[in-house]
Each structure stands twice: as structure tokens, then as C-alpha cells.
Amino acid sequence: MKNIKLRIVYLILGSALLLFALFMLAVNLIIPAHFVREAKKALISEAQYQNRTIPYTDDGSFFDDEWNDTEEHFLTPSIVFLELDNANQSSVWNRDAYRLEKELLEYCKGRDLSLNQCYTFKTDRHHLIFMSAQENYGDGEEPYSYIMYIDIGPITRYIVTLNWAFFGVLLAISSVMCLLGFRFGRDIEKEAERQQTFFQNASHELKTPLMAIQGYAEGIQAGVMDTGSAAGGILEESDRMTELVEELLDISKIDMGRQLLAFSEMDVRELLYDSIRVVEPAAAGGIAIVPDFPEEPVTVSCDDTRLRRAVTNILSNGLRYARSELRLTCRADKRHVTIRIQDDGDGIAEADLPHIFDRFYMGRSGKSGIGLALTKEIIHLHRGTIRAYNGEIGAVFEISIPVSR
């Protein structure tokens, strides 16, 4: 997963270059070739029209119903007629086209141009498709010579402008996509690094109770450890490992968005009393857990199982650092319920406070775990907030969740 952000950028740039190349191929080759073909068709059609045999009526007029019914080519209005005399010079000059027609005449001089045959003539700004033609009047009159041409130069110049416009748009879009792709790739790299760190830390956390269990088992096998105390140690480490595995599974489900909560209305005081009963056996050394709840019910919409686990994790954490007392308070207003857990220990080191809810963060105490990180995720699933800070005495964890969903 290294350098994935650069790979995404290269993929975007490569795709943009391929798209631009295909556009250049279509616009600069296919479209001009199409208009060249259509210009030739228009000239040939016009030549056939000019050389047609016109039937006359009895009164000297003529009718041309067959040609009138023929659909005119869309480039026919663009045909320019250049009259020639026997000296192959222009007999009528269009002032605006003087230079172009002069260059065309110079080009035709000395060349044996077949009649009714299409030719190409290019200058810096013009692209002419032309044809040399004659009309014979008979009765000994000199044939009438002229050149018909269509200038598709404006189309080619428009294509050049279109190239630059498309390049500018593609460059802008590619730049934005590269920026977004770079950020997306960076997020993927961070997530991959986070997952790798997560699995490494999880393996380390699981290895600790496993090594303890192995030590107890080897002590029993070697006959140097009392079977009863060793069995108690094995059960304790097994419970610890089971709890860790459950926490890992829960936080993995949350990461994948598969942790669904079962909300119901309940008195949060009952949930807090249940949490106290769960952790009381671990309250060694005479540490007292002091509840401070209002007398009236505090109703909240929550997943009681998940929220109880979150509170239990904080209580268990507080018991490790409290000297004599762990105070649990609950207050409510119209919109939120606030649960505050405070110990009377030394508090949290200032350097550890910003990372206290990070997964497997090891602070100055030398202990790491995932319990507080899971607690934070559970509170967020309840659309609540949790924060940790140091009070006048000890550390304080404060949870705030909305009364209703």
C-alpha cells in the first residue's frame, strides 16, 4: 500500500493523456478528413449541375425540375467561383480574396490539372479543395474556364482553438482530480497504516495473556507451582483474553459500519447501578464507588448493553488509579444526560490527555489497551460526546448523550 497516492495520480494523468490523444485523433484527423470528403462531394455535385443538359420548352424557356428536386449539399453555399481567361489569369477579382486567389493561380500555373478533378491547396490560414472546370457553349465560342473551390480553413482553425480549449478544460479537471486522488490515496495509506498498527498492537495484547497462561501451564508441568493458584491465574488470564477479543470484534464491527444498536427507552440510573455491580468485585483495597444520582428517573434512548459496557470500561479504568474513592454522578436537562466519573488519584499526565482515547496508546503508566477507544466509539454511535480532563482531584471522564434519538 506504499505510494498509493502517487499511483492514483499517475493513473489519472495517464487516463487524461489517453483521453486527450483520442480527442486529438478524432478532431485533427477524422473531422478534417470528413470535411475534405464532403467538400469534394459538393464540388463534384456542382460540376455535374453546371454541365447538365437543360431541356427547353416551346416558348423558349427552360425547366429544370430534375435538378430543382435534388437536395443541395450543405457545403454548396461555400463554393467560390474563380473565373479564368485563356492566359490562366483571374478575370474577376474579389478584393477580400485577392491574395488567396493569386496564390492559388500561381499554384495552378504550369500544372496539368485535369478537368473535374479535385485538388488540395494549403496556406498558413487556408485549406482549399478546388476543381478546374470548363463550360463549352458550342458554335465556335471559346470554352469558359473557371475554378471552383471551398475553403475549409476556418474549420481547421476552429479545430486548433477547440484543441486548446479542450486541453485547458482537461488540464483543469485533471488537476482537481489529481488533488482529490492524492488526498484519497493519502487517506488510504493512513488507513492501511492504522490497520497495520492495529493488528500489531492487537497481536501484542493477545500475546500477553497467552504467555501468562503458558507460564502457568509450564509451572504445573514442572511441579513448581501450586495447581490451584495456577488454575486461578489461567482463568483470570483467559477472562482477560476473552474480554480483549470481544473488544476487538466490537471495534472491528464499528469500523465496518456493522455494529447496529438496539435503542430503547430506559432509566439510565438502573444502567449505572448495573455497571457498578459489574466492577465492584475488582474494587480492591477498600476503594469505594459512590453514586450520586437524582431521585427522579432519568429516561434516555440508548442501547443499554453497549452503553453499560462503555460506562463499565471507564469505571474499571478509574479503579486502577483511584486511591480511595470513585464518584459516579448523573445529571439531566431537557436535551442531554451527563454522566461524570471522577477518581481521587494523581490524574492524567498532560502529555497523555490528547491521546487517552487512541487505540492501544501507551501512556506514562506503561499500560495500553482498547477499552477507552471502544468507549468513545460507542458514545459516538449514540450521537454523544466524551471527554477526559483533570479535576481538582484526580481524573474526570464526562459523557454527554442526547435524551432522545
Angle CA(105)–CA(109)–CA(113) in degrees, nearest 5?
Answer: 95
For residue range 103-133, what is the model confidence (pLDDT) as tens digits?
Answer: 888 888 878 888 888 999 988 888 999 998 8
Domain span at residue 137?
A: 4-160
For residue range 36-68, what is the model confidence (pLDDT) as tens digits?
Answer: 999 999 988 888 887 764 454 445 444 455 545
Share of the chain above pLDDT 70, in %: 85
Residue 60 lies in a domain: yes
- pLDDT average, residue stretch 122-148: 80
Claim to verify: residue 392 and residue 271 sit in the same structural domain: yes
When divided into structural domains, the chain yields a total of 2
Give the span between the Cα atoms of 38 and 78, in whole angstroms. 12
Predicted confidence at residue 86, as pLDDT, reads 47
- Please name every residue paired with 122 in a beta bridge, in sequence order, or none if there are none: 127
Residue 324 lies in a domain: yes
Q: What is the pairing mode between strands 288-292 and 325-332?
A: parallel
Judged against a pLDDT cut of 80, whether residue 361 lies above it is answered with no
Last residue in a domain, options 160, 179, 196: 160
Q: How far apart, in Å, are the Cα atoms of 239 and each of 305, 321, 372? A: 19, 21, 18
In this structure, of 29-38, 156-165, 278-287, the range with the lowest mean pLDDT score is 278-287
For 77, the 3-state DSSP assignment is: helix
396 grid coordinates: 474526570
Judged against a pLDDT cut of 60, whether residue 74 lies above it is answered with yes
**Confidence class for position 88, pLDDT limits 50, 70, 90:** very low
Last residue in a domain, options 132, 160, 188: 160
276 conformational bin, left if phi > 0, alpha if psi -120 to 50, beta if neither: alpha
Share of the chain above pLDDT 90, in %: 12
Residue 193 lies in a domain: no
pTM of the model: 0.53
Residue 206 lies in a domain: no
| E-only strand ranges, 250-353 | 264-267, 288-292, 299-302, 325-332, 336-343
Residue 245 lies in a domain: no
- Helices and strands (DSSP H and E) totals, the chain: 9, 11
For 301, the 3-state DSSP assignment is: strand
Average pLDDT, the chain: 80
Last residue in a domain, options 160, 185, 201: 160
Angle CA(311)–CA(250)–CA(342) in degrees, nearest 5?
Answer: 15
Predicted confidence at residue 97, as pLDDT, reads 64
